[in-house]
Structure 1
Amino acid sequence: MLPPLLKQVLDNFNFDVDPDLTPEQNTEEVIKSAALLSGAIAVEPLPFADILLITPVQAKMVLHIGKIYGFDLTPERAQDVAKELGMTVAYGMAARQVMRGLAKIALPVLGGLITAPAVYGWTFALGRMAEQYFDRKRQGLPFSDRERAQVVQEAKRSTKRVLPSASDFGDLAAELRRRAQDREQAAGTATQTPNDDTQSQSRH
């Protein structure tokens, strides 16, 4: 189930830079989309598997933000940048990942709904970090640890104002699951059809 779900998640996070919007407005759309998707993934009752799904979403978010500010990154480089910036907001993340996994084992749906806001906030903060990173890089300015910490604190305050409801996370998770199942069924049908044709031809 993981590969179709991962593909469905990434397909729902396609982004083109809108020339009619400012870099800040474009970035806002990317960050909120990535954070909502990450929160929806956390709702899924897949113990520890959300780590495998959330990381690609966060890397793709960084790639898009880099594009907005004029930097064309490879997916690998985007993932490296995400890891580099993530070190600033990663305090306690390992423990929280374990607790999320254990919660999903004990209370699959409830555990996901409880942790979705934390995952949303974590991704939102990482997006804000990437925004400042590329903006300063474009201007040839440094991005000190103190400045990074300030961005994280501001992101925490902003998250409280824009945090979606539990039903928003649950509804999106259900929709992603449905589309992933449809994709998997369609792929299975497409695989069977050529074999049926081959068998039919061999009988003639």
Structure 2
Amino acid sequence: MLPPIVSQIMDNFNLDVDPDLSAEENAEAVIKNAAILSGAVALEPLPFADLLIITPLQAKMVLHIGKIYGFDITPERSSEIAKELGVTVAYGVAARQVMRGIAKMALPVIGGVITAPAVYGWTFALGRMAQAYFENKASGSTFTQAEQRQVFQEAKSQSRRVLPSSEDFSDLAAELRRRAEERQKNMGQTSGNTSKGEIDQH
């Protein structure tokens, strides 16, 4: 069973576009939000969280960026685009995911702390790739592999400059976990009240 923080994160990551911001500013916001949320998930002591949780979050980021640039793509298509871009720039990513999963099984807390910055950087770079992909698509241009590699390298450098502190990741994970547990508790109380009402009617 996946931790409650997962549903809380996915629910909080909405697809609203702020009309007062430019497409670039909207994309900037969603990329940073997705990156730090992915980093927060990485702190959860769940082996292979990258494969089970972060991948859907990254696909939702791509879906959101597509919407910002006027493309209403399906969730399935967003996953395909994330994979297409990911294959181009992330040689060996599967191996890294496996190694991080093993680290979490052996040392859950330490594994998460080590993983969070890496996951943040990878998600940030993928977001930049998606942004460039849709910008090119909107202008009718092609997004060559050489351009993809350049965008990825620049994004990696930028992600290091804006990388949140370990405390930021921990605080966000703790707050999301608190909200998820609170919601779960409220749902349990609602379910209990419903059952009691059904019993009283009989």
TM range (shorter): over 0.9
Does residue 91 of structure 2 align to residue 54 of structure 1?
no
Q: Which amino acid aligns with 1:140?
A: G
Show the counterpart of 2:117.
Answer: 117
Task: Spell out structure 1 runs of 4+ moving beyond 4 A.
Answer: none
Show the counterpart of 1:193.
Answer: 193
Distance in 2 (alpha carbons) for counterparts of 1:50 and 1:132: 24
Offset of 1:6 from its aligned partner? Answer: 2.1
Cα RMSD, aligned residues only: 1.4
Show the counterpart of 2:150.
Answer: 150
Does residue 79 of structure 2 align to residue 79 of structure 1?
yes
Distance in 2 (alpha carbons) for counterparts of 1:69 and 1:8: 26
Query: How many matched pairs?
Result: 202
Q: Deviations over 1:101-125 (max 9, x none)?
A: 1111221111101110000011001
- Does the aligned pair in 2 maintain the 1:89–1:125 contact within 8 Å? no
Distance in 1 (alpha carbons) for counterparts of 2:119 and 2:89: 12
Show the counterpart of 1:6.
Answer: 6
- Does the aligned pair in 1 maintain the 2:45–2:109 contact within 8 Å? yes
TM-score (norm 2): 0.95
Offset of 1:152 from its aligned partner? Answer: 0.6
Distance in 1 (alpha carbons) for counterparts of 2:194 and 2:119: 42
Does residue 169 of structure 2 align to residue 169 of structure 1?
yes
Q: Which amino acid aligns with 1:83?
A: K
TM-score (norm 1): 0.94
Q: What percent of counterpart residues are identical?
A: 66
Segments of structure 1 that go 5 or more residues without pairing to the other structure are: none
Segments of structure 2 that go 5 or more residues without pairing to the other structure are: none
- Does the aligned pair in 1 maintain the 2:63–2:75 contact within 8 Å? yes
Q: Which amino acid aligns with 2:103?
A: A
Q: Which amino acid aligns with 2:180?
A: A
Distance in 1 (alpha carbons) for counterparts of 2:92 and 2:103: 16
Distance in 2 (alpha carbons) for counterparts of 1:35 and 1:186: 29
- Does the aligned pair in 1 maintain the 2:6–2:41 contact within 8 Å? no
Q: Which amino acid aligns with 2:194?
A: P
